[in-house]
């Protein structure tokens, strides 16, 4: 078939032939070595040859894809490692507040109930910073915004121990939250600029380092923590603070403040941000040198290449709308709103559990020392990071619908174990491990599932990001007040209610998505095909089946603006040449 139209592919469009070599078969001479029997050729009325190659999800193809990703990784090794370490520090800033909340209450002479408002201050300004980051990155430079964010994160961490009242503490945490928000948005933007369509595994690695930083942070703070809540001292009750060996440590609030060594933990966390500053500064200087060299060489490619904007990032989504699904407006709204609600609930629960599990263990679980409760917090964030790492590979084998189903069921199981055995130390650790693991990938999987059913617009995607930030801001405050007014067990009760509710939300999303006809000319899927759709790796070899990561489409001659590969490394070169 290809030999018949060889002139169109190789002579008229030599670049497209090279593009086909890069995207399709990865061979030196595609006309001789590629197995073109796997192609379906369509010659349309306007002379366009459409070649569609469906690779089976073979190990060889998988290894070729991994090799390409590794090549691109080494091309951007400096930037990649720097941005990942930025997110590592970002995760540390997110996770430090939970274990240190009781100590900060002693420092600022406030009850536990009042201290929950500092979560609101930090979360609200994190949302505000995320919204402003796009403008700041355009006004200045993305790396400059990252440098400022890392510097202010380090500065505010070092300043927190000096806060002697809750108003000063809320102000410092609000400033930190704003710059944390800029880091969150800008680091993702920098990754997308580097890798474009090939960003998926690198973006997953970025968020893995977030979980890694959140895992390390409680372990750093644990040796410097006090053992008890200072609330009885704040309300002038007669109270004695005991150490784990039952020796009296403090009788008054002033003595408790003097015994607190939490300032060393904050200074250590601040020091960890300093090497990241040097890495970001080196990227800034490297970019400046590259720009100077390009100007001296009068590089037209450098000058004419348009910057990546939010509008440009959405061009592919707009192009795909021409081939969009047969979907009604009501179906779009159901998928969109219920997905945003899922993200709101689970991101809020993620922040709430990480913030209050230490306080819950100290206040509610019998005979658990403070040091072990701090390890419980680290255990949660550690398996949260592990879950994100594992989801990178699982996402290439499992459909988003199955992944999200397993995630929600796993969270329900974890909350059931925690609620049924509230004083069992083993059950507490087991439930925390399960919850952190299954919770970790709900956010990206929910977005992937929505994208599978509908073509997400810029507004819809932004709504989901705002929903996540709103959940992180509101749920810790709401549950924190219930925690103090009703009791620590409300943490698990709310968690169980959220997970059960999300299961019914998932059913609505799945049934609505199943009713969407992606191509009105295709017959309804059989039960066997429906089961196979859960696991893309099983769908190899069929003529009309596509194997997820290994799906390739090449359009030659007059319509090369169409997507060449949905998961390929060379898309950046193709876009630049166009």
State the Rg of the chain over Cα: 27
Provide the residue-wise pLDDT of the chain in tens; the chain has 578 residues: 344 444 343 333 333 434 443 444 333 333 333 343 334 444 444 444 444 443 333 344 344 455 666 677 777 788 888 888 998 888 888 878 777 777 787 777 777 677 777 877 887 888 888 778 778 888 888 889 999 999 999 999 999 888 888 888 889 999 999 999 888 878 877 776 777 656 556 767 787 888 788 778 888 887 887 756 666 666 664 444 444 444 445 556 666 666 777 788 889 989 988 898 999 988 888 877 777 776 666 555 544 444 444 444 444 444 444 444 467 888 888 998 999 899 899 989 998 898 888 888 888 787 777 778 878 887 887 888 888 888 877 776 777 888 899 999 999 999 999 999 888 888 899 999 999 999 988 887 887 788 778 776 656 766 777 788 888 888 888 888 888 788 888 889 999 999 999 999 999 999 888 887 444 334 444 444 545 555 544 544 444 433 333 333 333 333 333 333 343 333 444 444 44
The widest CA-to-CA distance across the chain, in whole angstroms, is 93
Please name the helix (run of DSSP H) or strand (run of DSSP E) that holds residue 553, with its range, or none. strand 551-555
- In angstroms, what CA-CA distances link 374 with 221, 296, 399? 8, 56, 36
Rounded Cα gap, residues 373 and 165, in angstroms = 26
Query: Which residues neighbour 260 within 8 Å (Cβ) at sequence distance 6 or greater?
Result: 103, 106, 107, 224, 226
Bridge-partner residues for 242, per DSSP?
A: 248
- Work out the end-to-end distance of the chain between its first and last CA atoms, rounded to an integer number of angstroms: 27
Query: Which residues neighbour 29 within 8 Å (Cβ) at sequence distance 6 or greater?
Result: 21
Rounded Cα gap, residues 31 and 19, in angstroms = 13
- Count of H-run helices and E-run strands, the chain: 26, 5
Domains and CATH numbers, the chain: 75-235+253-293 (1.20.1250.20), 326-533 (1.20.1250.20)
**How many of the other CB atoms lie within 10 Å of CB of 323?**
11
Whether 371 and 222 have beta carbons less than 8 Å apart is answered as yes
- In angstroms, what CA-CA distances link 525 with 40, 53, 291, 437, 541? 22, 22, 53, 33, 17
Rounded Cα gap, residues 330 and 346, in angstroms = 24
Rounded Cα gap, residues 54 and 50, in angstroms = 13
Nearest to 227 by CA among 246, 204, 212: 246
């Amino acid at each position: 078939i290809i030999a018949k139209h060889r002139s169109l592919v190789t002579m008229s469009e030599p670049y497209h032939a090279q593009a086909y070599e890069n995207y399709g078969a990865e061979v030196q001479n595609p006309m001789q070595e590629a197995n073109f029997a796997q192609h379906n050729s369509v010659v349309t009325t306007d002379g366009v040859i459409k070649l569609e190659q469906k690779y089976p999800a073979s190990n060889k193809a998988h290894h070729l894809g991994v090799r390409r990703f590794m090549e691109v990784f080494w091309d951007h090794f400096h930037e990649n490692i720097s941005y990942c370490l930025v997110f590592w520090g970002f995760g540390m800033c997110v996770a430090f507040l939970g274990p240190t909340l009781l100590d900060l209450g002693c420092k600022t002479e406030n009850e536990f109930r009042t201290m929950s408002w500092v979560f609101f201050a930090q979360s609200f300004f994190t949302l505000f910073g995320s919204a402003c980051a796009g403008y700041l990155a355009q006004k200045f430079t993305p790396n400059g915004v990252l440098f400022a964010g890392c510097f202010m994160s380090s500065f505010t961490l070092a300043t927190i121990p000096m806060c002697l009242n809750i108003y000063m503490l809320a102000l410092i945490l609000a400033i930190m939250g704003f710059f944390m928000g800029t880091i969150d948005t800008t680091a993702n933007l920098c990754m997308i600029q580097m890798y474009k369509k090939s960003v998926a595994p690198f973006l997953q690695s970025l968020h893995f380092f977030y979980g890694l930083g959140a895992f390390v942070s409680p372990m750093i703070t644990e040796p410097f923590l006090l053992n008890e809540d200072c609330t009885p001292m704040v309300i002038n009750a007669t109270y004695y603070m005991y150490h784990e060996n039952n020796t009296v440590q403090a009788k008054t609030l002033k003595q408790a403040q003097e015994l607190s060594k939490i300032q060393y933990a904050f200074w250590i966390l601040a020091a960890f941000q300093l090497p990241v500053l040097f890495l970001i500064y080196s990227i800034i200087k490297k970019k400046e040198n590259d720009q100077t060299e390009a100007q001296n060489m009068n590089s037209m490619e450098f000058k004419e290449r348009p910057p990546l904007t939010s509008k440009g990032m959405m061009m592919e989504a707009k192009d795909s709308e021409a081939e969009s699904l047969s979907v009604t407006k009501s179906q779009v709204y159901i998928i969109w709103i219920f997905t945003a609600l899922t993200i709101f609930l689970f991101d809020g629960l993620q922040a709430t559990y990480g913030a209050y599990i230490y306080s819950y263990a100290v206040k509610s679980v019998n005979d658990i020392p403070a040091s072990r409760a701090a390890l419980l917090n680290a255990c949660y964030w550690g398996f949260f990071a592990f879950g994100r790492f594992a989801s990178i590979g699982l996402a290439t084998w499992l459909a988003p619908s199955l992944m999200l189903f397993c995630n929600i069921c796993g969270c329900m199981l974890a909350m059931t174990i925690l609620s049924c055995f509230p004083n069992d130390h083993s059950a507490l650790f087991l439930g925390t491990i399960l919850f952190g693991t299954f919770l970790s990938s709900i956010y990206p999987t929910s977005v992937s599932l929505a994208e599978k059913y509908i073509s997400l617009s810029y507004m819809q995607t932004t709504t989901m990001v705002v929903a996540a930030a709103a959940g992180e801001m509101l749920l810790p405050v709401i549950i924190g007040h219930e925690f103090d007014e009703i009791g620590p067990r409300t943490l698990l009760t709310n968690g169980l209610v959220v997970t059960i509710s999300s299961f019914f939300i998932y059913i609505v999303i799945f049934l609505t998505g199943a009713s969407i006809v992606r191509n009105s000319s295709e017959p309804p899927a059989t039960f066997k095909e429906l089961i196979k759709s859960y696991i893309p790796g099983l769908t190899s070899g069929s003529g009309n089946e596509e194997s997820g990561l290994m799906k390739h489409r090449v359009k030659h001659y007059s319509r090369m603006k169409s997507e060449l590969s949905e998961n390929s490394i060379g898309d950046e070169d193709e876009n630049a040449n166009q």
